[in-house]
Amino acid sequence: MNMAETGNRNKKRVLVVDDELSILRFVKTSLSLAGYDALAASSGEEALRLARTENPDIVILDIFMPSMSGYEVLREMRKFTDVPVVIFSASRSAYEKAMEYGADGFISKPFKPADLARKIEGILKGRKK
């Protein structure tokens, strides 16, 4: 039994996925400071493992990663969970494709941490658990 199952989890758990470690650290730290329980994955494979084992409330997913793109991760995730997924990418043209793959939201890089927190809060409020 993991900690989320044994305790009273007050903070919403966010899984952040990006292969650029500086961005990953920045987003994870920003979300932690905003009151979230932030988890980090630097590859698609790691993201899928954490999505299965850590039961995140929402996933923030980069599109352009080596070995497994964010689109592939999203497609695989949709096979076992309906957790909300927000795509974040420097490519604004990725928006439509992300939505076709089943994303719940999109935010363009670069972004302000407060904008990301607002986006997450809006999606989570719309999907009361």
Q: Where are the domains of the chain?
A: 9-126
For residue 1, what pLDDT band results from cuts at 50, 70 and 90?
A: very low
CB-count burial class (<10 Å; 0-12, 13-18, 19+) for 93: exposed
The domain made up of 9-126 is a member of CATH 3.40.50.300 = no
- pLDDT (tens digit per residue) in 25-70: 999 999 999 999 999 999 999 999 999 999 999 999 999 999 899 9
DSSP string, the chain: --HHHHS---SPEEEEE-S-HHHHHHHHHHHHHTT-EEEEESSHHHHHHHHHHS--SEEEEES--SSS-HHHHHHHHTTT----EEEEES-TTHHHHHHHTT-SEEEESS--HHHHHHHHHHHHHHT--
Query: Could you identify the residue written with the tokens 């979230």?
Result: 36
**Tokens at 115, concatenated:** 């904008």
pTM higher than 0.75: yes
pLDDT above 70: percentage of residues in the chain: 91
